[in-house]
Structure 1
């Protein structure tokens, strides 16, 4: 008996309403940019409200701040928080460069939003992350945006350097004892200058920097630093600051041309410029010189309390970003502690971590990596090589160089054919070949320069070195190996007192418990 089948035709289903938000950002606080900022907010408000099936959640906007660091973008972080709460289905953004100029942060945010079921539409590039296949396109575009940001930073640094070479005073903030009412020139703030003079005289009178800091705290002297607390390192820095004699040492710090842009102390990596009499002095040169000589003598007498270990400067707090420091108690027990937590536990919850547990976590991490190299490291290298190839093909500068090389090579081939056919004499061919060879050498040098500047190539090389180290390393590590640790690990991020994250050379990050469960 045949089955009785009833066909139920499809019926039109009205699509669910999408909850849509927009994100805007401008790069400076100029009048034109602020106008663009306001215009973007109005544009997205109208666009979303007038689109059928879209409900406006909010327009998130960051004004006059950098796009290279996500931790400085309050509304961007608010947008991510609302996405995590399930308030948003789709985000509209003008272009990838407005989203992030850092490839790693860009992809990390996009992947998180994808996991949350939130798609992102980049209008300029016409890319919708609702499909997985667009992620590689985003990688290319965000890499180009990153190169643009590096170029802007380099141009700005060059401008600063030219001004310093001309002896033009440059400062961003006024040190204690001064103000900058016009945003350019330092003037003395007498109430603070009195305290500065007292510090210098107190030090010459035999007081230690610790005693001076304690006295400033006892007197409850106001300062603009967090919590207004005076501490030894701050006093020592002030006593050695040439600003107090009216001079300026420019470029004490410099910004590295790698992402994210990080300020580093200048230990001779870039030029410094000492400019005399740039502003009014608070301290006489005679007093200042006496203090410098005394600082030097006391430093020579003071035994170094820092013991360099494999973990020095490699352990970072995952909560506040401070560098961990080593502490040894009277019984010889060694721990590492977040500097901010050590000064005031309220400021950072990450407490002390035993040194032996950090060493043990590395041993366990290495043994797992040794067993799973083909699962963890090799696929990462392959993905980065594929990304590098795509970026090089999508890099306008690289494309132009490759086209020029191809054109010159074709000319060389054609000349060779003409010579073989007897249509060009030897002298003419030699002259033309020399000209083309010089052109090719120059172009190939330019291509090598572009390749050398590519962070992805550096990361691939670092990852390959990591693979080689693990492959040729011991089959099983039984105890902490200092050489292997220093070669493999870039830093350790302490997420909590029970969990750390090892960042290996090349960017791979692996979590490890400080105490294995069940042991």
Structure 2
């Protein structure tokens, strides 16, 4: 009888020609102005770093948005990466530092051990630790413990320093409200924005509600501080903010021992500073506005619903008159035979001599959008794909590299300020020396932030346009043609419509293209 002996395969030989599948993990800012550029900068860094190793294959960058490292359960990007490791899609992970991975020792070790069981190892760049080396576990325990205690220490130092500044009235507002800006650490009036603040209070005192004031600001095309659109809650925040009369209420929020932020409803002391900075609104006008808001709430039982009526119809607020610049209003036309909806220029409605544009039926806009999308399906290879290739070919490698350098410098600057605060809290240095050195570090940090902001602005435009073109191409590739109006597609890809005449309009797409259509 034949006797068969199985000779096991040599796993090491099997792995000889197989590339290591490498992913990276990062945390990025929650600030929409910074997030896209920061993400691209880190993606570019890791892609170059990993692809330069001929034995590695770049899997991608997993990330979370500015979330605290103290709780893994809230970090979707990290959990998705671990899930992909369980599916066998990743062999190796690169992370900048242990503190970016976790500041909770128990969670850190549990996650690392789970990944080691899956034969997935992590390399922490800053500490130089590779979890694939068994002797690294002791180092990992030490460093993760340090990261956890550092998190607590930083929080305690910051709280101590902030409390001192609260008590002596020297606390600096890091992000001034609309109407103000920081100049050399002081809040000063931004006159252009201050005019809008005065307008808001004047409208309130004339009897208008927050919704009507927000609507007026949107019609005037006045952007919010972050470039968005005004809502009733945004207007109410201005009307309720004591900073506009020159005062400051400090410690409106606080962070608990688990690093969760809460509104201060009496759990912590608060400090009210009179005449902290130059006022935009007088005490009398501010107090009168509070009485009006409170009275209206009592009489009408007002419930804030920011955007309840802002997007009832797809074209609302998105049709712009080329003749006078005003937005167009939706109206109902009724005749003995028919009932239909139209859009009409608001200037024309008020005074026909100031704008001669006549109304356009809502269905005409819908048909024009259908035609435009169908044309894009047939012309994507000669219009959209070349545009996307052009945007992607813009060389931003040096900008991304500089962003990474600036972020590292800002992190180092922060660490230096924390160390300085720690020395002061233990009375190892004099307050005068602390103030001098801390002021120098803050000035340096401000210069670094300004340079980073400039770089972000320069690259964000191209990145956002490329992203918008990519979304449009994907939508078109998934469709064989449009037979009826798709409100979701319009919202996703069109920024606004420009009406040139009753027979011609232009769709301003979010990717920067202006496509004209005949009606």
TM-score range, shorter chain: 0.3 to 0.5
* TM-score, normalised relative to structure 2: 0.44
* TM-score, normalised relative to structure 1: 0.44
